[in-house]
Structure 1
Amino acid sequence: MTNEIRRPIQRCPSHPGALLDDIIPATGKTKVEIANLLGISRQQLYDIINERKPVSPNVAARLGKLFGDGAGVWLRMQAAHDAWQAEHSIDVSAIPTLKSA
């Protein structure tokens, strides 16, 4: 038996749409009603929920107001998701890491 340290498997941070899909039912409102309250199209909301579109700063401000948690929460979730996707899909092996002098 070895005393090997295991790192947890890295998983992609959740897309904000996944959270929306979880919290909308708790509001007692339909997705169409939520889209109307946000002032966005039903299709735009469905695209976010189905993770086909990102949460833009404009939509983040609307979500932050609607749910009372501020735009920053939604933007940070989107940024974490996007950064993880980029780090795991872009080949940066040919780019050196610079050290300061």
Structure 2
Amino acid sequence: MNYEVNRPLARCPSHPGALLEDIIPATGKTKVEIASMLGISRQQLYDIIGERKPVSPSVAARLGKMFGDGAAIWLRMQAGYDAWHAERETDLSKVPTLKVA
């Protein structure tokens, strides 16, 4: 299945923390309350929101349960963000591209 990218490819995909920054106020809960309900520290949540820490599979499962959208969406967002950065920050100049016969 092919998916179309709805953003310029030169633009970094959003970190999952950016989405949390938008979603949390709509819940009527504070960040401290959300962290407690997720079973993570307030600092861990603030680090994710501040894009200083990634969303781990465990946190993705918790977010997926809390917001009813499943872990996969959170993991895909994190993977897209990580891959975009890796492709730009890793020296790939000596890695060949192979053609499969």
Alignment TM-score, normalising by the size of structure 1: 0.90
Structure 2 residue 79 is the aligned partner of structure 1 residue 79: yes
Using the aligned pairs only, state the percent identity: 79
Residue aligning to 2:18: 18
* Deviation of the 1:100 alpha carbon: 1.5
| Structure 1: 5+ residue stretches without partners | 1-7
Residue aligning to 2:65: 65
3-state SS in 2 of match to 1:44: helix
Residue aligning to 1:39: 39
* Deviation of the 1:18 alpha carbon: 0.5
* Deviation of the 1:28 alpha carbon: 0.4
Structure 2 Cα separation of the partners of residues 54 and 70 of structure 1: 17
3-state SS in 1 of match to 2:48: helix
Deviation string 1:34-70 (CA, Å, 9 cap, x unpaired) is: 0011010000000000011000000000000000000
Residue aligning to 1:92: 92
Structure 2 Cα separation of the partners of residues 100 and 66 of structure 1: 43
| Structure 2: 5+ residue stretches without partners | 1-7
Aligned-residue CA RMSD (Å):
0.9
Aligned pair in 2 of structure 1 residues 9, 81: CA closer, same or farther (>3 Å)? closer
* Deviation of the 1:91 alpha carbon: 1.1
Q: Which stretch shows the higher mean deviation, 20-29 or 9-18?
A: 9-18
Structure 1 Cα separation of the partners of residues 36 and 56 of structure 2: 17
Aligned length: 94
* Deviation of the 1:9 alpha carbon: 5.7
